[in-house]
Amino acid sequence: MRLDKFLKVSRIIKRRTVAKDFAEHDRVMINDRLAKPSTIIKKGDIITIFIGQRKTVVEVLEIKDNVKAGEAKNLYRILE
């Protein structure tokens, strides 16, 4: 699954266009490498997102195309 779609489906970022914008402006890293919106996400990847002065680090636990709002948090685990 693409990075921008995963961020939207998991509801880490609410809109896919916003997720794409974050990645295009070097605010998202996967496994300590800068990521493009089209970067493919795999189970076990570590995603680091820089939102202003805050840094959020999550581990991908599962990849699904469609999930209900209550199940979205089961796709990742917050590390930092």
Tens of pLDDT, residues 18-36: 999 999 999 999 999 999 9
Q: Do 49 and 8 meet the contact criterion of CB atoms below 8 Å apart?
A: no
Q: In sequence order, what DSSP letters do the residues of 38-76 get, joined into one string?
A: TPBP-TT-EEEEEETTEEEEEEE----S---GGGGGGGE
Q: State the pLDDT at residue 25.
A: 95
Q: Which residues of the chain have pLDDT under 70?
A: none
Report the pLDDT value the prediction gives residue 26, as an integer from 0 to 100: 94
CATH number of the domain at 3-78, please? Answer: 3.10.290.10
**Which of 17, 22, 74 is CA-nearest to residue 48?**
22
What mean pLDDT value characterizes the chain?
95
